Amino acid sequence: MQKKLNYDVTIIGAGAAGLMAAIEAGKRGRKVLILEKNNHIGSKILISGGGRCNFTNINANPNCYISENPHFIKSVFSRYSSNDFIELVEKHNIEYYEKTLGQLFCKKSSREIVNMLQKECNEANVTIELSVNIQNIKKDNIFTVTTDSGIYTSESLVIACGGLSFPKKGATDFGYKIAKQFEIDLIKDRPALVPITVDERKNSSLLELSGLSFKAEAKTEGTKVTFKENVLITHRGFSGPAILQISSYWQKGKEIELRLEPELNWDEIINSHSRERIELKTLLSNYFSQRLADYLANEISSSKPMIQYSSKEIENIIQRLYAWKINPNGDEGYAKAEVTTGGVDTNELNQKTMESKKIKGLYFIGEIVDVTGWLGGYNFQWAWASGYIAGQNI
């Protein structure tokens, strides 16, 4: 005989957003249930930030997010900021540090963030059911969630089951299916913060450099945003922070342009050696590893002593160092993407509550919503903030 239980709130997904919403609702005295498919909570928190969870960014603001509706993000962040989450982390005496660019990481381990959320859930009397397989969700006056292990009814239902990236850590398309079931508009999803690939046959000598990294400023058509960070050559194309960041803006068929070592004045460097016998590859090896310098020199203009280049060729060398054009043929997909862009259209949601405008009592929070942050703690900040707001209203 299946158990039948009633709660005030059912939350689907014990990730960053779902846990935060549960804690806040529980603190308000609401009887809260979380249903989680995995046999543990916070699976992505555990693997995040290389095991040290980059839990927020002190510079988080709407400009660091991709969404059809930036005003929506502004409204959410005005109610819950990175300082609010830092306060919670400090309350639990979790040591953290700023790695770079406002990115806050745990000093010890991501596990501390998960333990903190579990403790807060316990204190707020939140019930968490693990290893749950949801069969269907129905709504009459209240929501009924039928699972293999029980039937749960509640007045509010929160969909916090994340995006499609990293299926091996539990990601499913369940939230998107529920949105469709309730006829809620979705913005087309796409992998983001993802390594890009290039045609392997045309780029065999480049791909032999797999493992080498360099600094660059990355840009692509359709956005003014640029990222000055490291680029890593992989055995299939490019990765590293600058590439992951720009991948979220990249559209199929468009180029990505890299300004190599962006602090350097290539005009001055190349022109000042243009009358010398030094070979281009030797000159470039002052700024890149020898293997990358050899590759670049041959790619740009088969390497020879600088004095043998015409002024037009010198100009071309300078231009190529300022704008190395990459033609990606794809990306590594959801298996390697950190996040998913697109999702539940923010126009479908009330920005003060995260509740669906169409279906009373139904809420969407976290990555399932069409709000995608840059790399660097921005995505967790969105999950905490949207979870917090729903938690005040469910």
Ligand X SMILES: Cc1cc2nc3c(=O)[nH]c(=O)nc-3n(C[C@H](O)[C@H](O)[C@H](O)COP(=O)(O)OP(=O)(O)OC[C@H]3O[C@@H](n4cnc5c(N)ncnc54)[C@H](O)[C@@H]3O)c2cc1C
Site string for ligand X, 104-143 (x = CB under 6 A): ----------------------------x-x---------
Q: How far is the CB of 169 from ligand X (least distance, A)?
A: 6
User: 170 vs 237, which CB is nearer to ligand X?
Assistant: 170
| In the chain, alpha helices (H) | 16-27, 43-47, 70-79, 82-91, 111-123, 174-181, 204-207, 241-247, 266-272, 280-284, 290-300, 311-322, 378-393
Q: Which of 17, 121, 128, 179 binds ligand X (CB under 6 A)?
A: 17
Least distance from C-beta 110 to ligand X, angstroms? 8
- Interface with ligand X, residue 12, by CB under 6 A: yes
CA distance 81 to 368: 20
- Non-local CB neighbours of 12 within 8 Å, separated by 6+ positions: 18, 34, 35, 134, 145, 157, 158, 159, 160, 161, 174, 175, 178
Q: Please say which residue, 132 or 198, places its beta carbon nearer to ligand X.
A: 132
Total residues at interface with ligand X (CB under 6 A):
37
Query: Which residues 315-374 are close enough to bind ligand X by CB under 6 A?
Result: 338-339, 366-367
Residue 16 lies near ligand X (rule: CB under 6 A)? yes
* Residue placing its CB nearer to ligand X in the complex, 43 or 153: 43
CA separation for the pair 278, 269 (Å, rounded): 12
Provide the token pair at 23.
């804690």
Q: Among 215-223, 285-293, 353-361, 378-386, which window interacts with ligand X (CB under 6 A)?
A: 378-386
DSSP character string of 356-385: BSSSTTEEE-GGGBS-EEPSSSHHHHHHHH
DSSP 170: T
Nearest by Cα to 128 from 1, 21, 2? 21
Q: How far is the CB of 171 from ligand X (least distance, A)?
A: 6
Cα–chain center distance at 1: 42
Residues in region 30-59 near ligand X by CB under 6 A: 35-38, 43-44, 47-49, 53-54
What's the min distance (Å) between Cβ of 288 and ligand X? 29
Query: Which of positions 142-181 make contact with ligand X (CB under 6 A)?
Result: 160-162, 165-166, 170, 172, 174
Q: How far is the CB of 360 from ligand X (least distance, A)?
A: 22
Q: Which is nearer to ligand X, 85 or 288 (CB)?
A: 85
Taking the C-alpha atoms of residue 94 and residue 110, their distance in angstroms, rounded to an integer, is 10
Determine, following the binding rule CB under 6 A, whether residue 15 of this chain makes contact with ligand X: yes
Specify the DSSP element, H or E, that contains 134.
Answer: strand 134-139
Residue numbers of the site for ligand X (CB under 6 A)? 12-18, 35-38, 43-44, 47-49, 53-54, 132, 134, 160-162, 165-166, 170, 172, 174, 338-339, 366-367, 377-380, 383
